[in-house]
Amino acid sequence: MQEIPLGFVAGTIIKRIDWAEHLFSLRVQAPSSAFPTPAYVAGQFSKLGALNEQNEWVRRAYSMVNKPCLNGDNLELEFLVIEIPDGKLTPLLGHKHVGDEVIVGTLPAGFMTINEVPQATQDLWMLSTGTGIGPFLALLEDIEACQRFEHLVLVHAVRTQEELVYKDAIIALMKAYQGKLRYVPIVSREVVSGALNGRIPQHIQAGTLEKAAHLPLSQQHSFLYLCGNPNMIRDTRDVLQQLGYKKHLRREAGQFSFENYW
């Protein structure tokens, strides 16, 4: 094998879930000694890499879908990946199976964590498109850390129903949160019973997102995390700013923050 680049460690795929033709999860195990302690904070991202046909490493950022999980001397990290048809890495990952090796970045990073949410926040809204739901699932796994909120709203906007991933895990979380967690699926290219149709910014503007969540959005009580498609983030930011919400900065508290995936 080609020498592993600095800041990476060899990992083995221990589980693969195929949600749809181009959408899958990979659970990877890697020696925990290669990571800091704690290895990362729920909501952060690391990197995955694989060798291409030219025997060169291709590396990209991916959010962990799980909170840090130790299994003996190994760390288990789960990633949700959509295959970009002409992409450099995702088609390589798409061909990986249980037992195959990938490389994993050993320095996870990112600020979309519970600690970064202003203390005064009552309700945390997590708005995602596509694979952007991943870090929110990790946040929600940390039930103890999320107890400080009165309500949690997980919004997942996808093109088709089959892309509404991790449904069983979300149902289990809703039970564990005993009414605190609300889940609002949005499907844009199909009409699906139990899901909104359309896009996130449109539903904020029309008030239909609040209605579906059975919870009012307010500058005083709500904080919003946005994750995924940069166009969704731009359009949602515009709507929120029109409504008077401000981007959150460490030096000046606001009501929303985001992570662009590309």
Ligand X SMILES: NC(=O)c1ccc[n+]([C@@H]2O[C@H](COP(=O)([O-])OP(=O)(O)OC[C@H]3O[C@@H](n4cnc5c(N)ncnc54)[C@H](OP(=O)(O)O)[C@@H]3O)[C@@H](O)[C@H]2O)c1
Ligand Y SMILES: Cc1cc2nc3c(=O)[nH]c(=O)nc-3n(C[C@H](O)[C@H](O)[C@H](O)COP(=O)(O)OP(=O)(O)OC[C@H]3O[C@@H](n4cnc5c(N)ncnc54)[C@H](O)[C@@H]3O)c2cc1C
C-alpha–C-alpha distance, residues 124 and 261, integer Å: 20
Taking CB under 6 A as the binding criterion, the range among 44-52, 193-201, 213-221, 251-259 that sits at the site for ligand X is 193-201
Between the alpha carbon of residue 36 and those of residues 39, 56, 105, 109, the distances in Å are 5, 27, 11, 11
Q: Residue 158, interface with ligand X (CB under 6 A)?
A: yes
Assess 87 for contact with ligand Y (CB under 6 A): yes
Residue 216 makes CB contacts below 8 A (sequence gap 6+) with 210
Q: Select from 30-38, 135-143, 146-154, 226-234 the region that touches ligand X (CB under 6 A).
A: 226-234
Residue 63: contacted member of ligand X, ligand Y, none (CB under 5 to 8 Å, by partner type): ligand Y
Query: If binding is defined by CB under 6 A, does position 20 make contact with ligand Y?
Result: no
Q: Is the CB of residue 26 less than 8 Å from the CB of residue 16?
A: yes
Residue 257 binds to ligand Y (criterion: CB under 6 A): no
45 near ligand Y, rule: CB under 6 A: yes
Q: CA neighbours within 13 Å on the CB side: how many for 203?
A: 23
Residue whose token pair is 């970009």? 84
Per DSSP, the three-state class of 236 is helix
Please list every residue from 113 through 132 that binds ligand X, using CB under 6 A.
Answer: 129-130
Rounded distance, CA 181 to CA 125, Å?
Answer: 10
Q: Among 36-44, 47-55, 197-205, 210-218, which window interacts with ligand X (CB under 6 A)?
A: 197-205
Paired tokens of 232: 């969704």
Rounded to whole angstroms, how far apart are CA atoms 24 and 3? 27
- Closer to ligand X by Cβ: residue 71 or 160: 160
Asked whether position 230 contacts ligand Y by CB under 6 A, the answer is no
User: Which one of residues 35, 40, 60, 104 is an interface residue with ligand Y (CB under 6 A)?
Assistant: 60
Q: Is 229 in the site for ligand X (CB under 6 A)?
A: yes
Q: Does 52 bind ligand X (CB under 6 A)?
A: no
CB atoms under 10 Å from CB of 212, counted, come to 19
Residues lying near ligand X in the complex (CB under 6 A) are found at 22, 82-85, 129-130, 157-160, 163, 188-189, 199-201, 229, 231-232, 235
Residues lying near ligand Y in the complex (CB under 6 A) are found at 45, 60-63, 79-82, 84, 87-90, 130-131, 134, 259, 261-262
